[in-house]
Chain A
């Protein structure tokens, strides 16, 4: 019998529906895997009871002859940025240590309502700030992948949704939630050989999701393949009156609409994404992707996004600015950590609590954000960055007059070793160079595995679509997926 943990979302769903196996068997198999994979440090909290209860509910519904919910029998992982009722949520920070929400985020609530169970809360970069999962207060997530060079370097799963990516790649869960602010779904998906999509900004409610940068944060699914992403996305998406930026639109039937036939479609290749010093392997993968697109029937043209080079600097002004404000609520007054030194006044308590509760990267971004918003520098930085953001969005609008999707690499390299870039924040920030522009413009974008590099590590290709055209993005992803035939998987060393 197949190992149930090898199955993806669609296969589990279908198997439970047609009685090939019970949801209980699936949940137990994953619970055991999660429990045995401590070495990866992908889970911060394990919630086997939740997964098992959802499975039993699915089995009971099946036994009663009821129509099963869309995700009945499917256990998933939940990035720790999502508040789930009664389960600790820390956003991988010390400052939220001990915090247990009394409420359910809209996205997790929708997934549970669709029948999904939760295996646990997934490790991540602290407050979603990081591209390597090295900023978690609870230790690095280790990628299940190893280089084939005989070395044994522990690799990054990418970030910030690194726990989600590692857990899926290691078959600890068939799918998981991620959040993407500047590439936090796509880059870790690329680094671990899985698929992940960030939908159009506003598709998924941010209510109950610990905020990093509100105008950029967007939840999305991560899973083994495009179909599984489509299934999860359908369950996560939808208007929420509790989020003023939520889009009041019906949820399309993305899974049913999947098609790898790209005839009549035009794919744009943005020339500005050919950055200096890009590894030849990345370029080769990109060329391969172009060939696959043509093979799927698409026409491929070169397009220009002239303001691309300003995207990263603008992002690293806007995101920290919003973060500095969003994180002001963590002050030791109402929940989480409180550090009250002897004889401390209010200001002292704030300072001590925040000094103890926030990690270095979070502090760095709070300070950058505070600086760029301060009266003397606001116009020079924040106003300017906002203008750049508008220009970048306009670049995409112009490009989409000529083409339907854009194809780019997801990240400028394969996964690097933990510790390798930690000393150099700028080098770390460059990881997001291909993902950030779509985030600034609020566009749907997806990473799918394209192949392996010379060291046997996964590389991803990114498809960026028009606003609300998740279907197009998924379809182009599916076309690549079918042609790439990516079946590589990490060896279970953990």
Chain B
């Protein structure tokens, strides 16, 4: 599936290729921290979710939280990665005020998840046309640090340890991406998978997920250039911007005879540029070694089986299933991109709706209505069961497309069921040939001139007669019956 890159930057010396790798930090969905029982809720008062362990009090010891391990394993399984039956926690030692222990517990040497892969697509309308597989190097679990606040007091810095010890998955891609679009698609797909699996809520604006963006440039065919790392980028759009801006900057530096230094940079969204960040003085020597407070993590078959069995149907599989039911690739992609939408749609299918009609209606009518009213699928006023009822009335001929739209609008407003609305307001479509024939006779009588023109060869007027008939019947006539009867009457 991997295709040649088409994205290049044209400089004075010719075309440059961009090489991108992402290190995504995803906060593990768990009620407790990685090595302590402290809570992890977002937005709590500073230092209210800190255990003795998180505050690194003397004699405190870390104990791995099984749920965090489980989520990392499930995530690895979701990207078809190697799950390491034996992994180990290492300490990464450095001094900083947001790091109470003086070290971060991470997994440098033996991560819990090894190599995997994520398929991305660059064209939603045709997901298979321009797909690409991005390699994942590893996923390891580690502790988050605390938060420092330097702007609360003129001479003091405040420390909030609420995040200290929260479990993160660090998901490291291979340098397989070649354009801002690929980087964006990878991050969006990864986020989608994490949310399907339920291992991370993917709330990038709350910091639950953030990416370090590694960018380098090279002339096509040449070895990798020196890369820079732009830290803590917190949206798909910003990741794409970082790749674009940083690559342009690097090309400019190189073409003016400079060289790229391996450094850590920050992205400034207001100016849409990356800036060099003062690197930690001891960054080159973190002093790693196996954490002596923790035994190596050994996963048994039963645990792995439990993880495997708990995995939901993932977006790619779901998309293939939808497509094989006749849904268009574009609609399948739209329906599977967000786990909530996919769950809603699956519930609709389970309630008996026919896939193609359901997909058409969901992607146009429902999503349109939600957009219009500013609601999300989770707050949709119409439930899958109610939608299924509506679609069933269309399928059995009770409602025409036009009537269905009317009924849906009423459903949105009142929350009533489709059948009840049809019953109450008499919005039922009619196939009563006697009634329709009477109306047709009336329409033809009132438009004798047009009948003459039609018979004289102006066949386009047929639609006019259909429209008039439907109008006269308040939209309730079965269009197919109207068609047939009109043809007979005009013959």
Binding site for B on A (CB under 8 A): 82-83, 89, 91, 96, 99, 101-103, 105, 206-211, 213-215, 241-245, 321-322, 324-325, 327-329, 331, 333-335, 346-347, 350, 370, 373-375, 378, 382
Q: Is there an interface contact between B102 and A331, defined as CB atoms closer than 8 Å?
A: yes
Q: Is there an interface contact between B289 and A329, defined as CB atoms closer than 8 Å?
A: no
Give the Cβ gap from B50 to chain A, nearest Cβ, in Å: 10
| CB pairs A–B below 8 angstroms (15 shown) | A105-B59, A206-B59, A211-B58, A214-B292, A243-B63, A244-B293, A324-B287, A325-B287, A328-B101, A328-B102, A334-B100, A346-B97, A346-B157, A373-B93, A373-B288
How distant is the Cα of A388 from the Cα of B159 in the complex, in angstroms? 42
User: Per a CB cutoff under 8 Å, which of B57, B64, B93 touches A325?
Assistant: B93
Q: Is there an interface contact between B100 and A374, defined as CB atoms closer than 8 Å?
A: no
Give the Cβ gap from A315 to chain B, nearest Cβ, in Å: 13
How distant is the Cα of A350 from the Cα of B97 in the complex, in angstroms? 10
Q: Is there an interface contact between A207 and B59, defined as CB atoms closer than 8 Å?
A: yes
Q: Is there an interface contact between A245 and B59, defined as CB atoms closer than 8 Å?
A: no
Residues of A within 8 A of B52 (CB): 102-103
Interface size class of B (residues with CB under 8 A): 20 to 34
Q: Mark out the residues of chain B between 17 and 66 whose CB falls within 8 Å of any chain A CB in the assembled complex.
A: 52, 55-64
By beta carbon, the residue of chain B nearest A375 is B285
Q: Is there an interface contact between B289 and A373, defined as CB atoms closer than 8 Å?
A: yes
User: Per a CB cutoff under 8 Å, which of A82, A96, A329 touches B56?
Assistant: A329
Q: Is there an interface contact between A328 and B63, defined as CB atoms closer than 8 Å?
A: no
B84-115 interface mask toward A, CB cutoff 8 Å, 1 = contact, 0 = none?
A: 00000001010111001111000000000000
Q: Is the interface of A mostly helix, strand, loop or mixed?
A: loop
Q: Is the interface of B mostly helix, strand, loop or mixed?
A: loop
Q: Is there an interface contact between A215 and B63, defined as CB atoms closer than 8 Å?
A: no
By beta carbon, the residue of chain A nearest B98 is A333
Q: Is there an interface contact between A325 and B103, defined as CB atoms closer than 8 Å?
A: yes
Give the Cβ gap from B107 to chain A, nearest Cβ, in Å: 15
How distant is the Cα of A113 from the Cα of B143 in the complex, in angstroms? 34
Extra inter-chain contacts (5) besides given A242-B61, A244-B61, A346-B97, CB under 8 Å: A102-B52, A103-B57, A214-B292, A241-B63, A375-B287
User: Per a CB cutoff under 8 Å, which of B101, B284, B288, B295 touches A244?
Assistant: B295
How distant is the Cα of A370 from the Cα of B93 in the complex, in angstroms? 9
User: Per a CB cutoff under 8 Å, which of A241, A244, A373 touches B294?
Assistant: A244
How distant is the Cα of A206 from the Cα of B62 in the complex, in angstroms? 11
Q: Is there an interface contact between B59 and A208, defined as CB atoms closer than 8 Å?
A: yes
How distant is the Cα of A206 from the Cα of B292 in the complex, in angstroms? 12
Known: A214-B292, A244-B295. A325 touches B59 (CB 8 A): no
Q: Is there an interface contact between A206 and B61, defined as CB atoms closer than 8 Å?
A: yes
How distant is the Cα of A102 from the Cα of B55 in the complex, in angstroms? 13
How distant is the Cα of A334 from the Cα of B56 in the complex, in angstroms? 9
How distant is the Cα of A105 from the Cα of B61 in the complex, in angstroms? 11
* Residue picked from B91, B288, B292, most chain A C-beta under 10 Å: B292
B261-303 interface mask toward A, CB cutoff 8 Å, 1 = contact, 0 = none?
A: 0000000000000000000000011111100111100000000
By beta carbon, the residue of chain B nearest A327 is B102
User: Per a CB cutoff under 8 Å, which of A83, A243, A334, A378 touches B55?
Assistant: A334
Q: Is there an interface contact between B284 and A242, defined as CB atoms closer than 8 Å?
A: no
User: Per a CB cutoff under 8 Å, which of B58, B91, B294 touches A101?
Assistant: B58
